[in-house]
Amino acid sequence: MIDWTQIIIALLGGTTFVGFIGLIIYRKENKKIKNAEVNKETATAMKEDASAAKEMLEVAKDMKDILSDFNKTLKTTIDERDATIAEKDKRIDELERSVRELTYTVNEQKRKIEGMQKIIDKEIGNKKYIEQLICLKEDNMLRKIDLEMINSDKK
């Protein structure tokens, strides 16, 4: 009679042999299935990468637009500032020129006033001196002052 251990060993050996033969026969198909799964996973990963790259490209375009607007605004602000500075520099130059002209005019007027004041002081002094020499009697000949005497005092 057949022992149970021999039956089990025969079954295990037979199934292993059938499995080995099946493995040899279906080797190419199993390889194709594995490659198909790998290709499918690769394609899925590529699609995900492509969609992520597309999203990043959209974000980059949006950032480019934002930075372009910012640069335009910044350039406009800089141009306005430069124009304001140029206007202020021009106004400062005009005011400095005006101050120089007014200073010159003031100095010229001071010089004229000082000259006139000297002439007036001299005339007042001459008038006082001449009044001391005039006699109040009308018929007195000394009342009339000799012009040479007045002229000699002025020298």
Determine, yes or no, domain membership for 30.
Answer: no
pLDDT single digits (tens) 22-50? 767 777 777 777 777 888 888 888 888 88
In a domain, 53, yes or no: yes
Tokens linked to 40: 């499918």
Host domain of residue 69: 38-154
Q: Which residues, other chains included, contact 149 with Cβ-Cβ below 8 Å and sequence gap of 6+?
A: 133
pTM for the predicted model, two decimal places: 0.43
User: Is it the case that residue 129 has pLDDT exceeding 50?
Assistant: yes
- Report yes or no on 70 lying in a domain: yes
Is 103 inside any structural domain?
Answer: yes
Nearest CA to 151 out of 134, 129, 119 is that of 129
pLDDT at 155: 47
- Give residue 132's pLDDT band: very low, low, confident or very high (50, 70, 90): confident
pLDDT given at position 147: 52
> Computed from CA positions of residues 77, 78, 80, 81, in that sequence, does the dihedral angle turn out positive or negative?
positive
14 lies in a domain? no
In a domain, 136, yes or no: yes
Is residue 88 in some structural domain?
yes
Question: Torsion angle of alpha carbons 104, 110, 116, 117, nearest 10°?
Answer: -170
Query: Is position 101 within any domain?
Result: yes
Number of domains in the chain: 1
Residues 6+ apart with CB under 8 A from 153: 126, 129
Nearest to 134 by CA among 124, 123, 142, 126: 142
pLDDT tens-digit readout, 43-99: 888 888 888 899 999 999 999 999 999 999 999 999 999 999 999 999 999 999 999
